[in-house]
Structure 1
C-alpha cells in the first residue's frame, strides 16, 4: 500500500474513532493499528490517555509543519534522544561521537509545560516521529525552511481554525504520546520509547574564539567548498583579523578568508594565538540545512577544538539549534593555510 495512503487511513480512522463508537469505525481503527505496527508506532483512540503523566505539554495553534521542518534538519540518525526539563523539550542525535545536533523547543513556546522531574530522558525512532507529525498535519513538501516559516511556529493555522497539540509521557517504559485536536476532531498516536543514550556534554567548555555572522553568508561559503568535493576542511582563526577555510579535493583546492571587517560579521572575538583544526567535511555538511534555516549563526571553538555551531532565529521562534563537530586531529600545522 502507498505510504501516503496508509498515513491518510490512520489519520481518518483515528479522528473518526474519537467521534463515534460504531462497530464500523472501531474495525477501521483496529486495521489502522495493525498497519502501523511495523512502523514502531500505534494509533490509539479516545479514553486511552495517561491519567497522571510525568510530562504534560500543551500548545495552541502550533505550527506543526515548521516543527517537522526543524526536526528534519537533524534527521541523520535512526533514533533521536528526547530530554525534557524546565527549559523545554530537546531532541538530540549523536553519530559515532563525531557529531552531535540538537533542537530545543523552549518551555515558553507552550501554553502548558509540566515536567515532574528535574530531567526526563528517553529515545524514540526518528523516522517514525516524523511520520507521526505527518499524520498530525505537519507534512512539509520541502525540508528547507526560511525565517518567514520559522517565525510562524506560534502563528494561527488559518481563519476559523482551532488547533491544539498535547504531548504526554508517564515514565520509564511508557510510550511517547502525541495528540492533535482540530475543530473538535482528535488524532492520537503513541511511539514506543527506549532508554536514552549517554550524550556528550559540550556545555561549560572555555572558548578559544567566538564569531557571530550572517547565516546566509556562511552557507554560501560552505556551498563553495562543497564544489571541490573535499574529504576534510581546515578552519582557522587569525586573531583580530579573519576567519579562514581551506579544502582540498578532486577538483582542486580552495582557500576562503572572511575578514573581521566583513559586513556579514557581527561579532569577532578570539584569543591571542592562531587556532586551527581539521574536520571531516561529510560530517560538517550535516549542518548545512540548519545553517540555511537560521537568521544568524554563532561559530565557536572550545579548548577541545570541537567546533560548535549555534543557530539564532527570530526571538519569537522559541527554539535553539546547536551542532557540534569533533576535529580529526588535535594539533594543526600553523603554516598549513599559508600558501
Structure 2
C-alpha cells in the first residue's frame, strides 16, 4: 500500500459528530469479529468485518452523519513514463472493533433505555406521546449530547477518538494494523433470484422464535405462490418454521421468479440480530449461487438514514442434503395433492 500521509503532518482525515451513540449503535451491529477493516474516502468511512470468508458485515458511515467531515488525500507522485495521473490510494487499515466500541460507549452510548424495542412498557410518556424520540429531559434536548472527534494522520498513526461531554474530555488512540484486504463475498445482482423488502422487526421476531430450539441450520425458502416465504430451523431439540404471507403489511416488496431454497448456519444469521432489532426495514436478496444478502435500513438521530449490509455463503449441498431434498419433494407431492382437493 502506498503512503497516503505522514504522522508528523496535518491529519488526512478528521471529522466531528454530535453523537457518539449513533456511531456505536451502527458499529455494534457488526461486532461478531475482533477486528474491522477501515477505509476512509471523501464520501464517508467504511467498516467491514468478515468471518472465515463465509460471512461479511459492512457499515458505511456517510459524511452526512457528521457535522464536519474532511478527508484530504495527497496528490500521488506522477510517474515519469506515465502521463495519466493515478487516483490516490484511500486510507486503509485495521482496528480492534472491541476497543473502538468500548471507547464510543465511555459516556453511556449503549444505555438500554435509548435502545429500540427495549423501552419500558410502563414509560407512558416515551412510548405513547413521543415514541422513539428524545423527550424534554434527554441529553440531546438539554445540550449534553457531547461531541465525538475522529482523526487519522496516515500509515503508522493511530486512529484517534476524542469524546467531550459535560466538560469531560477523553482521548483514545487506537493502534492501527496492516489491512488484510479480503475479497468481498460476490453477489450477482444480474442473477438475483429473490428480492423481498419487509419490516426488520418481523425478521427479528422470527429468528428469535426459531432460536428457542437451539438450531444449527436455518433453511430459507421462497415460493412464487403460497406460502411465499418460509424460515425453518433444525437442531438437536427439534425443528420449527415460520411462514410469511404475501401482503403489504408483511412483505412490502416480493419478487420471486421460481422456488429458491438455501441453507445457512443459524449462528451466522443470528449475528445480524442487532441490525434486525435496530433497523426499520430489511431487503432480503438471494442470487442463483445461494449467496444471501441482508441490507438493513437504520434511521439515526436527526432524521438521517444509514445502511448495514450482511452477506452469507450457503451450506455446500452434499449427499445428506440430497436425501433431505428427496424427502421434501415427497412432502411437496403430498401437499400438492391436498391443494388439488381444495
Structure 1 pair 102–201 and aligned structure 2 pair: CA distance change class (3 A): same
Contact 1:240 1:269 in 2 (8 A): no
CA distance in 1, matches of 2:159, 2:242: 46
Q: Which moved more, 1:245-254 or 1:275-284?
A: 245-254
CA distance in 2, matches of 1:144, 1:253: 35
1:195 is the counterpart of 2:178: yes
CA distance in 2, matches of 1:217, 1:162: 31
Equivalent residue number for residue 77 of structure 2:
none
State the 1:184 CA deviation: 5.5
Structure 1 pair 181–251 and aligned structure 2 pair: CA distance change class (3 A): closer
CA distance in 1, matches of 2:179, 2:108: 25
1:120 is the counterpart of 2:91: yes
CA distance in 2, matches of 1:266, 1:176: 41
Structure 1 pair 127–204 and aligned structure 2 pair: CA distance change class (3 A): closer
1:222 is the counterpart of 2:207: yes
State the 1:233 CA deviation: 1.4
1:130 is the counterpart of 2:101: yes
1:327 is the counterpart of 2:314: yes
Alignment deviations for residues 10-45 of structure 1 (CA, whole Å, 9 cap, x no partner) = xxxxxxxxxxxxxxxxxxxxxxxxxxxxxxxxxxxx
Contact 2:297 2:305 in 1 (8 A): no
CA distance in 1, matches of 2:249, 2:47: 33
Q: Which runs of 5+ in 1 are unaligned?
A: 1-48
1:307 is the counterpart of 2:292: yes
Structure 1 pair 162–295 and aligned structure 2 pair: CA distance change class (3 A): closer
SS of residue matched to 1:283: helix
1:80 is the counterpart of 2:80: no
Contact 2:244 2:250 in 1 (8 A): no
| RMSD of aligned alpha carbons | 2.9
Select 1:251's aligned residue among 214, 237, 241: 237
CA distance in 2, matches of 1:317, 1:129: 22
SS of residue matched to 1:291: helix
Select 2:11's aligned residue among 53, 70, 74: 53
Contact 1:175 1:193 in 2 (8 A): yes
SS of residue matched to 1:193: coil
Count of residues in correspondence between the two structures: 285
TM-score (norm 2): 0.74
Contact 1:108 1:318 in 2 (8 A): no
Equivalent residue number for residue 160 of structure 2:
177
Equivalent residue number for residue 234 of structure 1:
219
Alignment deviations for residues 110-153 of structure 1 (CA, whole Å, 9 cap, x no partner) = 12222234632211112211222233x2442449831899877x
Contact 2:15 2:149 in 1 (8 A): yes
Q: Which runs of 5+ in 2 are unaligned?
A: 1-6, 74-88, 118-129, 332-342
State the 1:257 CA deviation: 2.3
Alignment deviations for residues 60-103 of structure 1 (CA, whole Å, 9 cap, x no partner) = x22x2332233222212211111222331122211111111122
CA distance in 1, matches of 2:213, 2:144: 48
